[in-house]
Amino acid sequence: MASVRLLHLSKLFFVFCLLLQIRFSLSSKNAILPLKVQKFAPGSLTKPPKKLSFHHNVTLTVTLAVGSPPQQVTMVLDTGSELSWLHCKKTPTTPLSYDPLHSTSYTPVPCTSSICMTRTRDFTIPASCDPKKLCHAILSYADATSVEGNLAHDAFRFTDLVLPGVIFGCMDRDSSSNQDEDSKTTGLMGLNRGSLSFVTQMGYPKFSYCISDLDSTGVLLFGEFHFSWLPPLSYTPLVKITTPLPSFDRVAYTVQLEGIKVSETVLPLPKSIFEPDHTGAGQTMVDSGTQFTFLLGPVYTALRNEFLKQTKNVLRVYEDPNFVFQGAMDLCYRVEGSGAGLPVLPSVRMMVRGGEMVVPGPRLLYKVAGLTKGSDDIYCFTFGNSDLLGIEAYVIGHHHQQNMWMEFDLANSRVGFAEVRCDSAAQKLGIDL
């Protein structure tokens, strides 16, 4: 699910803000907004921002430029990954690529560099030395995707801002579990707390985003800000461990899940079931690189049963034991395709230390594209079973972060959130969506 120096951008008077456009169908693969800049009124921010633009379907993506002269790239925004990387070899499955041979500012990282020897410590697979004595990295993800190639430096460009010497992976081999979706992007932008993540290299103390559920847009900002219209955020501290554990991702945005409610019914589970065990398995990660939310088996089963109980009179279960949506979501429903829409559904609240993340009823079911049963559409429950994916963690995906202002405060080791109409937030920021 992820520098020679930090770029001390605190001396510059702006914050990055990326507009999001959300790709809900394969036919809209070219619907990526260009980068744009928006000036702010003096005094409206403690550290005035600057903006870009961003997209999502199963992933959130941003378009920017890399190299000298600039080459346009499209990257997945992933708070669950550290190293940013680009496909550096064009193939039938990776038609979008960056060509290092055409960039005069591209510099590979030697394997003797301290970057390769010490700053890759949080990689699942240790970096190594290739035959050319360059730093070689292999990155693997929970969905069975993997990429490998060399670490390098190059300039990343956001309209009139140039970030020189950003460390990234120039990948020439990959194995994908979703080639059609991955063919639409050039790479990935790692935004976790690791030393090589993009946000760490930028030197910003925090970033925030807000994803709309209505018009496929949203906004993301890097840096300090203060908006009078933003409601107070609930803050939950990041979980830290002092001793490295084999199954615990130390640089993820890990929060402590303490319980789950369906409407006002709290699932009858002990708090200990939500806590990492002695190996570190069972942490709860806030991950923009994952679409839906996944729970460990016993918790998923309890939630599934309570949701079934509360909706038995308004929803009709899709009875097909051989159908499991995306390999981990086994609760689906038949909904009349007459255009009447979904019935009123109970909300689900994820109770984290310091607050509750509310998932309203309409966001609990997701229409399966291209699948019908007679005149009925098929909708699936948007919580899945981590056990079916083979991952030992709770993961809060971006679908359940829609219409929620999400703040990742690296300086204070916490995540903040508040319910916000994200389309309205973008308008207040003066962004033309």
Q: Which residues are catalytic?
A: 78, 287
Helix (H) or strand (E) holding 199: helix 198-202
Distance in angstroms (rounded) separating the CA atoms of residues 156 and 210: 23
CA quadruple 245, 248, 249, 253: dihedral sign:
negative
* Cα atoms in the 13 Å half-sphere on the side-chain side of 375: 5
Q: Which two tokens stand for residue 372?
A: 């019908």
H helices present in 348-416, as ranges = 386-389
Count CA atoms closer than 13 A to 271's CA, side-chain side: 6
Q: Running DSSP on this structure, what letter comes out for residue 337?
A: T
Q: Where are the beta strands (DSSP E) in 238-385?
A: 254-255, 257-262, 265-266, 283-286, 293-295, 316-317, 332-336, 348-352, 355-359, 365-373, 376-381, 383-385
DSSP strand pairing (217-222 vs 206-211):
antiparallel
How far is the C-alpha of 65 from the C-alpha of 82, rounded, in Å?
Answer: 20
d(CA 96, CA 184): 7
Helix (H) or strand (E) holding 300: helix 297-311
N-terminal to C-terminal alpha carbon distance within the chain = 29
Torsion-angle region of 322 (φ positive above 0: left; ψ -120 to 50: alpha; else: beta): alpha
For the record, the structure tokens of 218 come out as 């949203």
Query: Closest Cα to residue 395, out of 317, 299, 320, 286?
Result: 286
Contact 159, 36 (CB under 8 A): yes
Separation CA 79–CA 415 (nearest Å):
12
C-alpha distance from residue 354 to each of 55, 228, 266, 275, 350 (Å): 30, 22, 16, 16, 11
